[in-house]
């Protein structure tokens, strides 16, 4: 039987907070309860937002929580390097393959043009109307700026079964449009990099926040076009505040570093998260390792989970 390979793939753009700990704990439990291999991959693709100091911080916070990994930037492994900033050639090679198949085109649209032309597809995203797919020969536009690269998305539905949320169907060409695979500043897009990495690292199971559920059809399309094996996906509810906003790096009081500094014990955090995940009946301190035998993704709620501003810790 194939050994499960899962991963936690944080972006080092701030101190990790309770919401990151939640995803890290659940992906760790999924892997550990199956006797699998846990990978830590640092998604530092965006040079403007990533900081090396946050990488050290998140590794220290995870160890403090009792969450370990078998392969990662510090311990290495067969699929090293485990930091996206060092894997750009792989993304470019995948992009070259897509381009050779005629599936990629340059896009010269400005932000303002995109805002004016495209309806919203969801959070911050807009359906790209394909403007530059038809406008290949426009020299004035070409001279003006470096292009982004977009995937020429073929029509048709992408369907998959999420292991928590069930069947999902999306026609990417209609609901998202031709999406960016390399930004105009040369940075490869998350959608491409995550596919290349999960495939290259032999990841069999991805567990991550449900904010990425709507990205998964795009990623499955890329797996198909690149002829790579896709993992199974489990999306989990997000931690949100009382106003319904997802916890973010802006809520510094919920940063693990802040909680640690206040004297909160890791067992208290793990116990709180496990209780919210439905893994234990009473909110009480517990070690991550003690949850391995009771992990069951079916116990997780479907709705996002509200975190009270005054944590019971």
228 forms part of the interface with ligand GLU (CB under 6 A): no
Stretch that binds ligand GLU, among 3-11, 260-268, 269-277, 286-294 (CB under 6 A): 3-11
236 forms part of the interface with ligand GLU (CB under 6 A): no
Stretch that binds ligand GLU, among 9-17, 96-104, 118-126, 137-145 (CB under 6 A): 9-17
Residues that bind ligand GLU (rule: CB under 6 A) add up to a total of 7
Shortest distance (Å) from residue 125 CB to ligand GLU: 15
Residue of 32, 208, 235, 276 that binds ligand GLU (CB under 6 A): 208
Active site residue 249: yes
Stretch that binds ligand GLU, among 5-13, 29-37, 61-69, 159-167 (CB under 6 A): 5-13
10 forms part of the interface with ligand GLU (CB under 6 A): yes
Residues 80-139 that bind ligand GLU (CB under 6 A): none
Shortest distance (Å) from residue 241 CB to ligand GLU: 18
9 forms part of the interface with ligand GLU (CB under 6 A): yes
- The DSSP-derived string for the chain is -PPPEEEE----SS--BHHHHHHHHHHHHHHHHTT-EEEE-B----TTT--HHHHHHHHHHHHHHT---SBBTTTB-TT---BGGG-HHHHHHHHHHHHHTT-EEEE---HHHHHHH--EEETTEE-B--HHHH-TT-HHHHHHSPPEEEE-PPSSEEEEEETTTEEEEEEHHHHTBS-EEE-TTSPBPHHHHHHHHHHHTT--EEEEEGGGGGGHHHHHHHHHHHT----EEEEEPPEE-TTSPBP-TT-GGGBHHHHHHTT--HHHHHHHHHHHTTSSSS-----GGGGGGG--GGGS-SS-EEPPSS---
Stretch that binds ligand GLU, among 4-12, 67-75, 241-249, 268-276 (CB under 6 A): 4-12
Nearest CB to ligand GLU, comparing residues 29 and 107: 29
Residue of 132, 149, 194, 277 that binds ligand GLU (CB under 6 A): 194
Catalytic option among 63, 142, 249, 262: 249
- The DSSP-derived string for 251-262 is -GGGBHHHHHHT
Residue of 6, 11, 59, 203 that binds ligand GLU (CB under 6 A): 11
Provide the annotated active-site residues. 249
The footprint of ligand GLU (CB under 6 A) covers 9-11, 43, 194, 208, 212
């Amino acid at each position: 039987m194939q050994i499960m390979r899962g991963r936690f793939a944080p972006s080092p753009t701030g101190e990790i907070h309770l919401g990151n700990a939640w995803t890290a704990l659940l992906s760790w439990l999924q892997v550990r309860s199956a006797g699998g291999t846990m990978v830590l991959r640092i998604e530092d693709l965006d040079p403007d937002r990533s900081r090396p100091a946050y990488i050290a911080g998140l590794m220290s916070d995870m160890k403090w929580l009792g969450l370990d990994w078998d392969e990662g930037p510090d311990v290495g492994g067969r699929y090293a390097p485990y930091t996206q900033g060092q894997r750009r050639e792989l993304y470019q090679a995948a992009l070259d393959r897509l381009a050779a198949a005629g599936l990629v085109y340059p896009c010269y649209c400005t932000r303002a043009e995109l805002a004016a032309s495209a309806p919203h597809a969801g959070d911050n995203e807009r359906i790209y109307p394909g403007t530059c797919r038809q406008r290949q020969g426009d020299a004035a536009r070409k001279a003006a700026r470096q292009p982004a690269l977009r995937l020429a998305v073929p029509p048709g539905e992408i369907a998959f079964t999420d292991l928590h949320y069930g069947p999902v169907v999306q026609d990417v060409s209609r609901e998202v449009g031709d999406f960016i695979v390399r930004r105009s500043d040369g940075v490869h897009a998350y959608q491409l990099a995550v596919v290349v990495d999960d495939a290259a690292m032999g990841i069999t199971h991805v567990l991550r926040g449900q904010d990425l559920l709507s990205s998964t059809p795009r990623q499955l399309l890329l797996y198909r076009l690149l002829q790579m094996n896709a993992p199974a996906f489990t999306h989990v509810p997000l931690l949100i505040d009382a106003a319904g906003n997802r916890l973010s790096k802006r809520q510094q009081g919920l940063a693990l570093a802040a909680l640690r500094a206040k004297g909160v014990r890791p067992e208290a955090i793990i116990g709180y998260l496990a209780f919210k995940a439905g893994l234990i009946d009473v909110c009480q301190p517990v070690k991550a390792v003690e949850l391995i035998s009771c992990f069951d993704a079916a116990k997780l709620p479907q709705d996002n989970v509200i975190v009270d501003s005054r944590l019971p810790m």
